[in-house]
């Protein structure tokens, strides 16, 4: 089949490359000519494991091409739109200007019987508006507009695309359903269930799924707060809950709050949609508010780990992207964390295996380092903000020798308290018993001058 993807970002590029890998002829179109030129040179503008090879193989085998020009889309069996739908500045609604802009651009170029598929995450009713625009621009045509939301996770995007839990096709039209069945046929043969629903239902499914995942994360984060106060271990609690099939083990990892390019903007957009339609989603409202407060409040853990003051101290933050295996910095929890550390008077040294260039515009005052160890040099505390594999087995002796004092704040719970105790670290986690040790017992290698403001005063000032 001939598939055209409009938008070659995280979603469009991965989906396009995977469709090509299934054997379809795919053209990815992006209005960013620089991005297209880079892709044609074999340079992949995003970090996603396996994507470089997947794109190269499919270009080489003649099934994948890139263009900044949409004039050839009249031949496509399906045109999928995967442009961005970020939060609209000022009110938090999904910004649909890229979607409607793309639809108006392609409308005159589409075949009169085109199947136009929305892969972007869009609020309920967006498909109706796309259909209205197409009718307005092409009154003679018989096009179909389908909702086909994407559920892939950055960092595991290729695997997720090829092994989806389900494929959702939102359309009542038999011809459109048949085309989508053919587009996804390779997955259907792998027994991936295809759920045919009406278009509005498909649009709601995507937001409901993301809001539910956000709720699960936020729930376990609040349970972690309780665990810290009562001496319980949130990881064991999560395990004890997760074995229950009605609950499931996934998305029960306590941490610094959810971030990334999807969950924050999608929960906010869902709330706006609900509000517009006079429905109240109180649970989602609370989830969004609790999560927002949590991200910045993580700095409080660092303050506590350093006996109440971080002014004049140096904190090394390991991991800047919102999760491992991606360079995506959109709404990363490291941003409010590091901003709060700066507000409290700390110097921040940072390292991320993939996201440092992307981090710089968001976090210009960080001292960027070439490795976790370089970041730890002269630090009063190391904060693990993202659980990249390479942070899971750090040489703790080497780390301790580099630091001013042996303090680790593990916001992803990737170490065990007993190993940290053995390695002589003060170790704070999220929702697990800490490995306590007095910092007075070790003569600090070097302490910087700095005011010793009380923790309460500093927090009142900055958090």
Work out how close the CB of 14 gets to ligand NAD at its nearest, in angstroms, rounded to a whole number.
Answer: 8
Contact 427, 309 (CB under 8 A): no
d(CA 135, CA 120): 21
Give the integer Cα–Cα distance in Å for 61 and 354: 29
Residue 270 engages ligand NAD in binding (rule: CB under 6 A): no
Among 4, 27, 58, 120, binds ligand NAD (CB under 6 A): 120
30 or 233, CB closer to ligand NAD? 30
CA 241 to each of CA 68, 220, 228, 415, 429: distance values in angstroms, whole numbers, following the listed order: 49, 10, 18, 21, 20
Nearer to ligand NAD, 147 or 314 (CB): 147
Q: Smallest gap, in angstroms, from Cβ of residue 91 to ligand NAD?
A: 17
Q: Which stretch binds ligand NAD (CB under 6 A): 82-90, 129-137, 340-348, 407-415?
A: 82-90
The residue among 256, 258, 261, 385 whose CA lies nearest residue 330 is 261
- The interface with ligand NAD within residues 6-45 (CB under 6 A) comprises 6-12, 29-32, 35
- Shortest gap between Cβ of 122 and ligand NAD (angstroms)? 7
Contact pick of 49, 50, 98, 290 for ligand NAD (by CB under 6 A): 98
β-sheet bridge partners, residue 351 = 318
Contact window for ligand NAD (CB under 6 A) among 80-88, 128-136, 186-194, 428-436: 80-88
> Cβ of residue 45: shortest distance to ligand NAD, in angstroms?
8
Tokens describing residue 120? 């972007």
3-class DSSP assignment, residue 369: coil
Instruction: Kindly state the smallest distance separating residue 35's Cβ from ligand NAD, in Å.
Output: 6
When binding is defined by CB under 6 A, the residue of 21, 25, 65, 150 that contacts ligand NAD is: 150
Residue 125 tokens read as 């009713």
Assign 3-state DSSP to the chain and report helix, strand, coil percentages, each to 5: 45, 15, 40
User: Token pair for residue 137?
Assistant: 């621009």
CA–CA distance, 312 with 323 (Å, rounded to integer)? 29
- State in angstroms the smallest separation of the CB of 44 from ligand NAD: 12
Contact call for residue 48 and ligand NAD (CB under 6 A): no
Q: Name the residue nearer to ligand NAD (CB basis): 41 or 246.
A: 41
The minimum distance between CB 420 and ligand NAD, in angstroms, equals 33
Helices (H) and strands (E) in the chain, counts: 18, 14
**Strand pairing report for 25-29 and 115-118:** unpaired
Write the DSSP assignment of 388-425 as a string of letters.
Answer: -GGGTT--HHHHHHHSSS-EEEETT--S-HHHHHHTT-
Rg of the chain (C-alpha set): 24
Q: Please tell me the count of residues contacting ligand NAD according to CB under 6 A.
A: 27
Pick the binder of ligand NAD from 83, 224, 348, 359 (CB under 6 A): 83
Q: How far is the CB of 210 from ligand NAD (least distance, A)?
A: 9
Distance of CA 328 to the CA centre of its chain: 7
Among 4, 27, 67, 121, contact with ligand NAD (rule: CB under 6 A): 121
Strands of the 115-118 sheet, one edge to the other: 64-67, 25-29, 2-6, 78-81, 115-118, 144-147, 167-170, 194-197
Which CB sits closer to ligand NAD, 102 or 409? 102
Q: CA-CA distance, 209 to 446, in Å (whole number)?
A: 50
Residue of 20, 55, 73, 84 that binds ligand NAD (CB under 6 A): 84
- For the bound state, the minimum distance from the C-beta of residue 87 to ligand NAD, rounded and expressed in Å, comes to 10
Residue number of the CB atom closest to ligand NAD: 9
Catalytic residues: 262
Q: Does 85 bind ligand NAD (CB under 6 A)?
A: yes
Work out whether 319 is an interface residue with ligand NAD (CB under 6 A).
no
Binding-site string for ligand NAD from residue 236 to residue 265, where x marks contact by CB under 6 A and - marks none: -------------------------xx---
- Per-residue interface string for the shown chain with ligand NAD, residues 170-189, x marking contact by CB under 6 A: --------------------
Distance CA 194, CA 168 (A): 6
130 binds ligand NAD, rule: CB under 6 A: no
**CB-nearer residue toward ligand NAD: 269 or 408:** 269
The angle subtended at Cα 324 by Cα 202 and Cα 359, nearest 5°, is 100
154 lies in the binding site for ligand NAD (CB under 6 A): yes
Neighbours of 295 (CB within 10 A): 23
Binding residues (CB under 6 A) for ligand NAD: these are 6-12, 29-32, 35, 82-85, 98, 101-102, 105, 120-121, 150, 152, 154, 261-262
């Amino acid at each position: 089949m001939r598939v055209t993807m409009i938008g070659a970002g995280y979603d469009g590029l991965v989906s396009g490359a995977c469709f090509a890998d299934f054997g379809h002829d795919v053209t990815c179109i992006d209005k960013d000519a620089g991005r297209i030129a880079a892709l044609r040179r074999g340079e992949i503008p995003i970090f996603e494991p396996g994507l470089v090879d997947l794109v190269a193989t499919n270009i080489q085998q003649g099934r994948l091409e890139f263009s900044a020009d949409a004039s050839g889309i009249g031949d496509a069996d399906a045109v999928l739109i995967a442009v961005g739908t970020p939060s609209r500045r000022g009110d938090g609604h999904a910004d649909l200007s890229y979607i409607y802009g793309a639809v108006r651009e392609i409308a005159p170029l589409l075949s009169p019987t085109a199947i136009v598929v929305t892969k972007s995450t869009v609020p309920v009713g967006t498909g109706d508006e796309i259909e209205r625009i197409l009718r307005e621009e092409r009154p003679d045509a018989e096009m179909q507009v389908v909702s086909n939301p994407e559920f892939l996770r950055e960092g595991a995007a290729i695997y997720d695309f090829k092994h989806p839990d389900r494929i959702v096709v939102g359309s009542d039209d038999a011809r459109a359903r048949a085309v989508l069945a053919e587009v996804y046929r390779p997955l259907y043969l792998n027994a991936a269930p295809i759920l045919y629903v009406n278009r509005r239902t498909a649009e709601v499914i995507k937001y409901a799924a993301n809001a539910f995942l956000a709720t699960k994360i936020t729930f376990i984060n609040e349970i972690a707060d309780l665990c810290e106060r009562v001496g319980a271990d949130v990881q064991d609690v999560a395990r004890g809950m997760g074995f229950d099939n009605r609950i499931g083990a996934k998305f029960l990892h306590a941490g610094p709050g959810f971030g990334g390019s999807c969950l924050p903007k999608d929960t906010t957009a869902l709330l706006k949609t609900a509000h517009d339609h006079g429905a109240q989603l109180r649970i989602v409202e609370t989830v969004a508010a609790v999560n927002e407060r949590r991200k910045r409040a993580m700095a409080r853990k660092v303050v506590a780990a350093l006996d109440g003051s971080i002014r004049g101290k140096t904190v090394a933050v390991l991991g800047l992207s919102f999760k491992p295996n991606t360079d995506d910095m959109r709404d990363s929890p490291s941003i409010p964390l590091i901003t709060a550390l700066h507000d409290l008077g700390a110097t921040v040294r940072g390292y991320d295996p993939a996201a440092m260039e992307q981090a710089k515009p968001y976090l210009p005052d960080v001292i960027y380092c070439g490795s976790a160890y370089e970041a730890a040099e002269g630090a009063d505390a190391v904060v693990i903000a993202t659980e990249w594999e390479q942070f899971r087995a750090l040489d703790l002796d080497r780390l301790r020798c580099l630091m001013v004092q042996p303090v680790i704040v593990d916001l992803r719970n990737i170490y065990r308290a007993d190993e940290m105790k053995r390695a002589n670290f003060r170790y704070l986690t999220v929702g697990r018993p800490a490995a306590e040790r007095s910092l007075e017992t070790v003569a600090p290698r070097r302490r910087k001058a700095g005011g010793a403001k009380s923790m309460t005063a500093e927090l009142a000032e900055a958090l």
